[in-house]
Amino acid sequence: MAYLLVIVLNKTEKIESILERFIEVDVRGATIIDSAGMGRTLESEIPIFGTLQEILSGGKGKRPENKTIFTVIKEERTLRDAERVVKEELSNFKEPGTGIMFVLPIMDFKGLSPSLKEEEKSLKEHRKIEKIV
């Protein structure tokens, strides 16, 4: 089974370090989109959201838009490593408003790059064939 790891990142200054560390744990690709939360979207329509946002931000003004990271991960070990990276980078989500992370199972997918382990296996098989020929 594969997994979809989704991170809604309010601390957008952490995105580069998270993505760089993803490469180290064999996360080979991700899609990043600009996103905005419900409160930000509704604050101009429903004044209470703007007031709540001001209170929750400690008087620092409006919360900036966020980034959403999607990545499909084939192996559970890689998934756990990626989750650990995000938790470490975001201080285990202890600070309110940091973001959210969740995982969904994927039954089937197409077009995902091979993992490093799969590439190494393929290379070894290719070398065996070359020796035979």
How many structural domains are present in the chain? 1
In this prediction, residue 131 carries a pLDDT of 72
User: Which domain range does residue 96 map to?
Assistant: 2-132
Find out whether 79 and 8 touch, Cβ atoms under 8 Å: no
Which pLDDT score is estimated for 122?
Answer: 65
Q: Band of the pLDDT at 60, cuts 50, 70, 90? A: low
Characterize the bridge pairing of strands 99-106 and 66-73: unpaired
Structure confidence at residue 52 as a pLDDT band (50, 70, 90): low
pTM of the model: 0.73
What pLDDT does 58 receive? Answer: 53
Q: 18: burial class by Cβ within 10 Å (0-12, 13-18, 19+)?
A: buried
| CATH number reported for the structural domain that contains residue 70 in this entry | 3.30.70.120
